[in-house]
Amino acid sequence: MRVLIVEDEKGLATEIKEFLEKEEYNCDLAITGNEASELIAVNPYDFILLDIGLPDYNGLDLIKEAKEYNSEAYFIIITARGELEDKIKGFDLGADDYLAKPFSLLELLSRVQAITRRKFGQQSSIIHFGNFSLDTIKKYLEYEGQPVDLTKKEYKLLSYLILNKNRVLDRLQLTEHIWGEFYEDDYDSNYIDVHIKNIRKKLAEYDENNWIKTIRGIGYKFEI
């Protein structure tokens, strides 16, 4: 996967690059709109992460431009303003997702993965663990063909843990993923604990495996 990161804030751009490279993404950096414009014209990208608040370029114009040369590329728009209009315009121009600054890198990664799954019709949208199977497109969990009754939030939480399997997710990341912009400033992390407890209880009805590990003081990890 080849990714272009267009972000005028160098500090942020390098962090994104470092993180995505650990995840085996091949990243290019563009600090200005002109740089980005040149890179887009020359290289085929799978993903373009675009900060639309560039000082030298209208980010939305850049999408139009990129669509000419890189019609296959997927766009994730990054903005610090979070204006709804920009968001809508961005989607109109063909952006695939939208992230408001600040976002967690894990959230960025999961958005990238989600788009990949959606667009590339990934090998399988179904993830198996034990005798469970999680359908990430139809969004439900089954045990040997029997649907497991999960609430929307429980499903969201479990699938997030599974998609980031073997990685420790902290409560903040989980909260942010589940409640999005509504997550609280006093972030009631115990809600996550309650949800995890309920999910464990529901999974335990089917098998004895402790899928979700508690990492003390930090959060949870789904182990396969």
Partner 1 sequence: MDLPKLKLKSKLALFNALSKVFIVTTLLLLVPWIVSEITIRDTDDLLIRKLDQVIELVDSLGIDAYINMDNEIKAFGSYNILKEEFISIEQLERDTLIDIIQYSQRIIDGELVEYRVLSYSIKESGNQYLIEIGRSISTIARFEQNLKQFAFLFLLLIIIITLIADIAFIQYLLNPFEQIVKKLKNTRHPSSFDYTPVKTKTIDFAYLDETIHSLMYKIEDAFTNEREYISNISHELLTPISIIQSKLDNIIADKTLPDAELLKIMDSKHTLGRLTKMVRTLLMMSRIENEEYLLTEKVELNELIKNVAEEIEDKIHAKNLELKFDLNKSIPAINGNENLLFILIYNLVNNAIRYTQQGHIQIETAIADNQIVLRISDTGIGIRAENLPYLFSRFKNFSNHKDSFGLGLALAKKICDYHKINISVESELEKGTCFTLEFKN
The one segment of 26-34, 60-68, 167-175, 203-211 that binds partner 1 by CB under 8 A: 167-175
Report the distance separating Cα 90 and Cα 104, nearest Å: 21
The one segment of 82-90, 110-118, 134-142, 200-208 that binds partner 1 by CB under 8 A: 82-90
Report the distance separating Cα 213 and Cα 157, nearest Å: 14
Smallest gap from Cβ 25 to partner 1, in A, equals 13
Report the distance separating Cα 202 and Cα 221, nearest Å: 17
- Residue 185 binding partner 1, by CB under 8 A: yes
- Residue 183 binding partner 1, by CB under 8 A: yes
- Residue 105 binding partner 1, by CB under 8 A: yes
Residues 8 and 30: beta-carbon distance below 8 Å: no
Report the distance separating Cα 166 and Cα 146, nearest Å: 26
- Residue 24 binding partner 1, by CB under 8 A: no
**117 by DSSP, 3-state: which?**
helix
Please state whether 193 falls in left (phi above 0), alpha (psi between -120 and 50) or beta: alpha
Q: Which of 42, 68, 123, 182 binds partner 1 (CB under 8 A)?
A: 182
- Residue 16 binding partner 1, by CB under 8 A: yes
Q: What is the CA radius of gyration of the chain?
A: 19
- Residue 104 binding partner 1, by CB under 8 A: yes
Residue placing its CB nearer to partner 1 in the complex, 5 or 39: 5
- Residue 213 binding partner 1, by CB under 8 A: no
The one segment of 17-25, 37-45, 122-130, 139-147 that binds partner 1 by CB under 8 A: 17-25
User: Nearest CA to 188 among 206, 174, 168?
Assistant: 174
H or E element, residue 12: helix 10-22
Report the distance separating Cα 154 and Cα 174, nearest Å: 11
- Residue 26 binding partner 1, by CB under 8 A: no
Binding-site ranges for partner 1 (CB under 8 A): 9, 11-12, 15-16, 18-19, 22, 80-84, 100-106, 151-153, 168, 170, 172, 176, 179, 181-188, 190-191, 194-195, 216-218
